[in-house]
Structure 1
Amino acid sequence: MKSEILVKTALVGALVFSAGGTSVLAHDEIGGGEEKGDNLAGVELTVPLLEGSKNTGNLKEVAAVPLKEIRDGVKNSTGDVYAHKGFAYLGTHRANGGGGGVRVFDMKDPSNPVEVSVFAAIQGTWQEKVIVKTVNTKHFKGDLAAVSVQKMDQKDPNSQGGFVLYDVTNPREPKKLGFWESSSSGARGTHELYLTVQGDNVYVLTADCYADYYSHGKKMDVSIVDVSNPTNPNTIYEFNPRAYIPEVSDENYDGYNWTDEEGIQRAAFAHSVKTDGTGKTAFLSYWDLGTIMLDISDAKNPVYLGRTDFASDVQGAAHSMDLAKGGTVLVETREVFGPTREGFESAYGYTMIYDIKDKTNPELLSTFRTEFTETIPNGATVHDPKVHGNTLYLSHYSGGVRTVDITDPSSPQQTGMYIPSKANIWGVFVDRNYILASDIGSGLKVLQKTGGPNMNRMGGV
């Protein structure tokens, strides 16, 4: 049963404002926000929170496994989660000095995940995002992992940011293959990335937050890197929004600060990247520029298709995305921790669902917000989405994991949730008959659907 208790939770990112008037967001370093997982000891608040339960709504916790300490006395925090061929891959964040690498869990028994290896544990950096795919090129055949690498100290000349590639064909014995450096001086490196297979070619798409801004336009936030030979990554393209989007030019955009067509000051930088299943359409989560869509059938010469947009009173913050309905529906999550900003609606980040049959003209179908907007500040904003069939899975920090029925994308309905004690859920991933969740403070959580009643049903807004 659910019961309410009073607990203390931390608000990630105090509600302050940058000189440009942009509200602080959890990821937005330039705007004044902290990196997620840096410090959870912000403003102490006493708020009602659901007691951690082994069975909340229609999701049941079947395992909770902390990360091993790979350095004596150092506890690494957890980044995103991915699964491939019966193994779970957990990235790690920058808490306690970073260097936690990627942790690999054998998921043969989902109720008893076993950590079997660690790789990419590069000191002076952190590795929050990992994607694994099976590839077959003339240079490499097997399972390839791409891992984001960000500098702890942006000014350290001996530290490199970018991404690293590993052979994980045997997940118990990963082997390093190659490294790609994001060479923009001042930026941390690759924040998020995506590994995609397009026929005989294999590419990594990078989101190197602020590369454009710090390099004064000499380097771009998004690169397409040919990794068909993973020992020799080769950059083949960089995306410059000024060259494609009519609303963006040197006059109103400096790589971060953007003045939109209505004269509103906004922030625009690449946070996340992903492709569809064919690898031929790329989706760039570009904060206040929305989700930018590119045809990358010819990866050296992408074609701009269109982007999502926001009403003038909506804070942008396009953070992540996923596809539904065979790629005709786009689910966009927006990370907004600062709900109050003059001239805008009062709202934490929520989910927006678009019809993208015509990618040149995305049509907003619906929005989805949780019922905890005012009672769980640290969980009030949505984070990452994953779609499996007609179910949308959302990670929600202190708000845990939410399941949403999107059979009708114009009317999303919450069907379940999972909120463990001291929840701080970063990512979620659906694998076979279970759901993986990465908890920043406590490691890997494994959930299964119970098939029980929908105890927490809420419609879209």
Structure 2
Amino acid sequence: MRLLAHHPLDGFGNVGEGMALQLTRDRRRVLWLAHESAPKNVTAVDVSNPKKPSVIVQTTLPHDKMRSNSLDLVGDLLVVAYQTREPGMTPAGFEIFDVADPARPKSVTVFDASGPASRGVHHLWWVDGEYVHMAAGAADFTPRNPKDDQCYRIVDVRQPSRPREVGRWWLPGTRDGDTEPPPPRHPTIDTGYRAHNTNVYPRRPDRAYVGYIDGGAVILDIADKAHPRLLGRWDYHPPFPGFCHTVVPFFERNLLVVSDESVREAAKDWPKLVWLVDARREDKLVPISTCPLPPVAKFAGRGGRFGAHNLHENRPGGFLSEDVVVGTFFNGGVRAFDVRDPFRPREIAAFVPPAPRKSPARAIQLNDVLIDERSILYTVDRIVGGLYILDFRV
């Protein structure tokens, strides 16, 4: 990996886990970024020349007790998540924007996911132009435990001005009123039973691949979107410390790539790993290896978090590979692994930039990664560092 450019995003370099590329009608390439925290909502960056990125627009959130954190884009429509700091606040849900002119986003509508026990939408996925798949609360969803406040929701946006929910799923026993008993809490680090990434690919529109935090990796049959059905669940918490974040299917190889998220500084929740899981039987998921990381002692004291987080997710239209896994590891930077032998992944490239100026973490905290069809890699810092653009030809 070779650094092509770095942009601090005009002093607002705190980027969340929402990155999407737009090809505009005038042939520009625009990277949309969601911010990890207020005051900014989204930033659009012209990356047509990856060596000379430039900010097109930055928008501001309605108030400072909310964040966007996640977004997705199809064509000229941008969907942005809204999550509030506390339950019961608004706006909480998602907003759809027309970004045909990236410099002037125009609101189309807001989907309301607020409620007494809801903080809105934490993460969303939208790649087919039809259904938004999201980790969200709802006005009529009351968790037994406040940490379990995000279920998996499916929203039909084929009429963008009139989004409507068509289905939802939650881990049985986590909702107030469920007949099933509540699942046991994690004995050491209880981060909750709730949905995080909710990936659905055009190749298998009848499957949802969900990271369910302390509930593990989940595969759902969503052929009937009104009634999602559990097919398989790999529950590895405990003995591991929890927070299953992302599940990426490698369809040709019957594998899942599963990432945890490190959520405590100084690696106090170690190990947080990227796993390869045999998925030949959806009802019998078997872990077979992990991607090798440098010794935890080398990074734990550098500042901020160290461990797995987001993955390059093989989104339609971008860089597609079932031989290489790429992920972000906070102060461990962005790392790439050759997984052609799924039992023995090996690291083939890494990029760890120096600590951004004025970062309270005193270290880089790379948060998300996206690779386009040109093998240009985009990665972002979650605190102040902004955008890093690399040549990913390895």
Question: Which TM-score bucket, shorter chain as reference?
Answer: 0.7 to 0.9
Per the alignment, do residues 84 and 92 of structure 1 end up closer, same or farther by CA in structure 2, a change over 3 Å counting?
same
2:324 pairs with 1:391: yes
2:156 pairs with 1:226: yes
Q: Which residue of 2 aligns with 1:456?
A: none
1:318-337 mapped onto 2 (5 Å cutoff): 318-326=244-252, 328-337=254-263
2:164 pairs with 1:239: no
2:291 pairs with 1:368: yes
Match of 1:355 among 263, 278, 301: 278
Q: Which residue of 2 aligns with 1:51?
A: none
Per the alignment, do residues 282 and 348 of structure 1 end up closer, same or farther by CA in structure 2, a change over 3 Å counting?
same
Q: Which residue of 2 aligns with 1:132?
A: 73
Per the alignment, do residues 122 and 183 of structure 1 end up closer, same or farther by CA in structure 2, a change over 3 Å counting?
same
Match of 2:351 among 418, 429, 432: 418
What is the letter of the counterpart of residue 406 of structure 1?
V
Unaligned residue ranges in structure 2 (runs of 5+): 24-28, 315-319, 356-363
1:396 Cα deviation from its structure 2 partner: 0.9
Match of 1:92 among 18, 35, 57: 35
Conservation of the 8 A alpha-carbon contact between 2:240 and 2:271: no
What is the letter of the counterpart of residue 439 of structure 1?
D
Counterparts of 1:379 and 1:188, CA distance in 2:
24
Conservation of the 8 A alpha-carbon contact between 1:91 and 1:128: yes
Q: Which residue of 1 aligns with 2:58?
A: 118
Counterparts of 1:243 and 1:153, CA distance in 2:
23
Q: Which residue of 2 aligns with 1:178?
A: 109
Counterparts of 1:89 and 1:347, CA distance in 2:
32
Q: Which residue of 2 aligns with 1:448?
A: 391
Conservation of the 8 A alpha-carbon contact between 1:63 and 1:446: yes
Per the alignment, do residues 259 and 161 of structure 1 end up closer, same or farther by CA in structure 2, a change over 3 Å counting?
same
Q: Which residue of 1 aligns with 2:195?
A: 270
2:354 pairs with 1:429: no
- Paired residue secondary structure (2:287): strand
User: Normalized against structure 1, the TM-score is what?
Assistant: 0.71
Q: Which residue of 2 aligns with 1:439?
A: 381
Per the alignment, do residues 155 and 346 of structure 1 end up closer, same or farther by CA in structure 2, a change over 3 Å counting?
closer
Conservation of the 8 A alpha-carbon contact between 1:293 and 1:359: yes
Conservation of the 8 A alpha-carbon contact between 2:214 and 2:243: yes
Runs of 4+ deviating beyond 6 Å = 214-219
1:326 Cα deviation from its structure 2 partner: 3.4
Counterparts of 2:265 and 2:286, CA distance in 1:
24
Q: For residues 258-291 of structure 1, what are the alpha-carbon distances to aligned partners after superposition, in whole Å with 9 as ceiling and x for unaligned?
A: 358xx99953121221112333211121112111
Q: Which residue of 2 aligns with 1:187?
A: 118
Counterparts of 2:260 and 2:221, CA distance in 1:
23
1:38-53 mapped onto 2 (5 Å cutoff): none
Max radius of gyration: which structure? 1
Q: Which residue of 1 aligns with 2:228?
A: 302
Q: Which residue of 2 aligns with 1:458?
A: none
Moved more, 230-239 or 146-155: 146-155
Per the alignment, do residues 185 and 106 of structure 1 end up closer, same or farther by CA in structure 2, a change over 3 Å counting?
same
Q: For residues 20-59 of structure 1, what are the alpha-carbon distances to aligned partners after superposition, in whole Å with 9 as ceiling and x for unaligned?
A: xxxxxxxxxxxxxxxxxxxxxxxxxxxxxxxxxxxxxxx1
Q: Percent identity?
A: 21
2:223 pairs with 1:286: no
Count of aligned residue pairs for this structure pair: 361
Q: For residues 294-348 of structure 1, what are the alpha-carbon distances to aligned partners after superposition, in whole Å with 9 as ceiling and x for unaligned?
A: 121222222221112227522231012222253722111112455999xxx9832
RMSD, aligned α-carbons: 3.2
Conservation of the 8 A alpha-carbon contact between 2:35 and 2:67: yes
- Paired residue secondary structure (2:79): strand
Counterparts of 2:94 and 2:264, CA distance in 1:
31
Conservation of the 8 A alpha-carbon contact between 1:372 and 1:380: no
